[in-house]
Amino acid sequence: MFAIVGGGLAGGRAVERLRELGFDGRLLLFTDEPRLPHERPPLSKQYLRGRLAESRLLLRPAAFYAENAVEVRTSTRVVGLSPGDRALTLADGERLRYDRLLLALGSEPIRPAIPGADLPGVETLRTVEDADRIRQRLRPGAAVLVLGAGFLGSEVAATAREVGCRVHLVEAGQAPLVAFGPEVAEWAANQHRERGVELRTGATVTRFEGTGEVEAAVLADGATIRCQLVVLAVGARPRVQLAQGAGLRVSDGVLVDGACRTSVAEILAAGDIARFPSPGGTTRSEHWDNAQLQGRHAAESMVGPVGDFSTLPYVWTELYGSTLQQLGTWAPARPSLMRGDPASGRFTALQLYGGHLRACVAVNQYPAIKWARRVMESATVLDPDSLDKDGPRVWSEQAPGPLTLRLD
C-alpha cells in the first residue's frame, strides 16, 4: 500500500502520476481538510473576489479518484508514524501499514506573537475556510489592514482594494515584493499607491485592539490604524511535526535527497515541506511550480529509480491585472540590467554572472521567461552589450546560439 499524507498540489499530482506510471496497488490519500486535493493560489485572488466557485479549485473531480481506485480520506489527520513498522496512526486510533509513504503536508501561516492577534477578525489565509471568513468581511468601504507585503500580502491587498475596501498595507521591510528585486519592488509600491492603498514600509505592529473583535492596530511609531479586518501575511513554516515525531531529519523542512527520500528510505517528502539538494547546499520552495513538479518526481521515485530532482526556480504572482514572473534566483546584492520601461507596465530585469543568465524577472512579458528558460538550460554565454536597452516588446524565439533581444 502506498500512502500520501497531504491534499494540496504536491500530494494530488503524486497520486495522478502513480496511476499514470501503472502502479496498481492500494493507494490512499489522507487530508485533514474536508475536500479533495485542490489548488491554493486562487484563494487570495479569484476565489477571494467571489469570481471562482469552490469546485473550480479541485485538481480532479471526485470521479477521477473513483475511476482510478484512489481512496481519499478527507477530514482525516495522521497523528503518528512508526517507520520501523512501516505504519501510520490516524486520529481515531486506526493503524495502517504502508510500503511507501509520501509526506506532502505543505506549510502553515505564521501567526506572530502580537498582543491581540487572537481577536476575531485577525485572520491568516491558507484554507478555503480562511478565505471564506475573510471574504465575508471584504465589503466596499470596509477598513482592511494587511500585515506583510510579500506574495500573499500584496495579492490580498490588491484583491481587497479591487472589492472597494479601504486598505492599509504594512511591511517591515523597505518595499513590497522584494524577492523580485528592486525594480519590481518599486513598481509594485507605485501600483499599490496609485490605486489608493496606504502602503507603510519600515513599519511594525505592536498590538491589535478591540472589544469583542479587532477594531484597530497600533504601530511601533505610535500611529493607530482603524480596521475591521486584519490579514496576517508574514510568512509560513513547513508542517514538520509529523516528521519530527517519527525521527526524520528536519531542518526548516524535511531533509530529502535528490529522489525525494527522507532519512528513512521508505518515506518521501515533496512540496513546501521538503528541503532538497541544490547548488551550494539545500533549498526549500513554497511555490506552485515546485510543488507540482516535485510531487510527480516523488511518485516516480516511489515506484523505481530516478535521477535527482532538478528544476529552474520559477515563481509568479498577479497584481492588479499584471503578471509577475521570475525564473532563477534573484541575488539582492548583484546589479541588474533593465529592459523596458516600468511606467509602461511591460519590463524585464536580468541578472548575469560571468556572462550566464542567473535570473530573469518579467512584468507582463511572457516571451521573456520562455527566452530566459532556453538561455539558462543551454548555458549560453551572453554579451550584455548585445541586449537591446530599449525593449524588448518581443523576445527572440530563435534556437539557442547568439541569443539577443529584439524589438518588434
Q: What is the DSSP annotation of 252-312?
A: SSEE--TTSB-SSTTEEE-GGGEEEEETTEEEE--SHHHHHHHHHHHHHHHHS--------
Task: Give the best-scoring range by mean pLDDT among 208-217, 356-365, 380-389.
Answer: 208-217
pLDDT at 392 over 50: no
301 and 259 in contact (C-beta within 8 Å)?
Answer: yes
Whether pLDDT at 76 is above 70: yes
Q: What is the DSSP string of 75-120?
A: T--EEEEETTTTEEEETTS-EEE-SEEEE---EEE-----TTTTST
pLDDT of residue 83: 97
pLDDT of residue 386: 67
Q: Who's near 104: CB < 8 A, 6+ residues apart?
A: 4, 5, 6, 8, 10, 11, 14, 269, 270, 271, 273, 291, 295, 298
Q: What is the mean pLDDT of residues 52-66?
A: 97
Which residues have C-beta within 8 Å of that of residue 10, sequence separation ≥ 6?
104, 106, 270, 271, 272, 291, 292, 294, 295, 298
Q: How many CB atoms lie within 10 A of CB 187?
A: 22
Q: How many CA atoms lie within 13 A of 59 on its CB side?
A: 21
Mean pLDDT of 211-231: 97
What is the phi/psi pair of residue 341, to 5°?
-110, 120
pLDDT digits (tens, 9 = 90+) for 251-290: 999 999 999 999 999 999 999 999 999 887 899 999 999 9
Instruction: Please write the tens of the pLDDT for every residue from 291-346.
Output: 999 999 999 999 999 999 988 999 999 999 999 999 998 887 777 888 888 888 99
Q: Answer whether residue 111 shows pLDDT above 60.
A: yes
Tell me phi and psi for residue 240, to 5 degrees. -100, 5
Does 190 have pLDDT greater than 60?
A: yes
Nearest CA among 308, 315, 304 for reference residue 277: 308
Q: Which cell goes with 228?
A: 475591521
The Cβ of residue 163 has, within 10 Å, a number of other Cβ atoms equal to 18
Q: How confident is the model at residue 402 (pLDDT cuts 50, 70, 90)?
A: very low
Count how many Cα atoms sit within 13 Å of the Cα of residue 14 in the half-sphere of its side chain: 36
Residue 140 CA from chain centroid, whole number:
28
Grid cell at residue 234: 508574514
CA angle 105, 53, 110 (to 5 degrees): 35
Average pLDDT over residues 203-232: 97
The runs of H, that is alpha helices, within 124-235 are 128-137, 151-163, 182-194
What is the rounded CA–CA span in Å between residue 56 and residue 15?
19
Q: What is the pLDDT of residue 400?
A: 36
pLDDT range class, residue 388, cuts 50, 70, 90 = low
Task: Provide the pLDDT for residue 317.
Answer: 93
Range 165-185 average pLDDT: 93
209 or 340, higher pLDDT: 209
Provide the 10 A C-beta neighbour count for residue 342. Answer: 17
Q: What is the dihedral of CA 284, 288, 290, 291, to 10 degrees?
A: 90
- Respond yes or no on whether the N-terminal peptide bond of residue 392 is cis (omega within 30° of 0): yes
d(CA 395, CA 46) in angstroms, rounded, equals 30
Determine the pLDDT at residue 126: 97
Query: Contact at 8 Å (CB) between 6 and 106?
Result: yes
Q: What percent of the chain clears pLDDT 90, i.e. is strictly above it?
A: 82
Report pLDDT for 389: 52
pLDDT at 329: 85
The candidate with the shortest Cα–Cα distance to 28, out of 61, 65, 81, 72, is: 72
**Residue 382: its pLDDT value, please?**
83
pLDDT of amino acid 328: 92
* Structural domains of the chain in order of their starting residue, each with its CATH number: 2-108+236-303 (3.50.50.60), 111-232 (3.50.50.60), 321-406 (3.30.390.30)
Q: How confident is the model at residue 52 (pLDDT cuts 50, 70, 90)?
A: very high
> How many residues can be counted in the chain?
408
Lowest mean pLDDT among 1-5, 45-49, 272-276, 363-367: 363-367
Q: Is the pLDDT of residue 230 over 90?
A: yes
Residue 174 pLDDT greater than 90, yes or no: yes
pLDDT averaged over every residue in the chain: 92
- pLDDT surpasses 60 at 390: no
Average pLDDT, integer, range 194-209:
98
Listed in sequence order, the residues at least 6 apart from 99 whose beta carbon sits closer than 8 Å to its beta carbon are: 1, 2, 25, 86, 266
2 or 407: which carries more pLDDT confidence? 2
CA angle centred on 304, ends 293 and 238, rounded to 5°: 40
Confidence of residue 353 (pLDDT cuts 50, 70, 90): confident
Judge contact between 295 and 268, C-beta under 8 A. no
Is residue 180 predicted with pLDDT exceeding 90? no
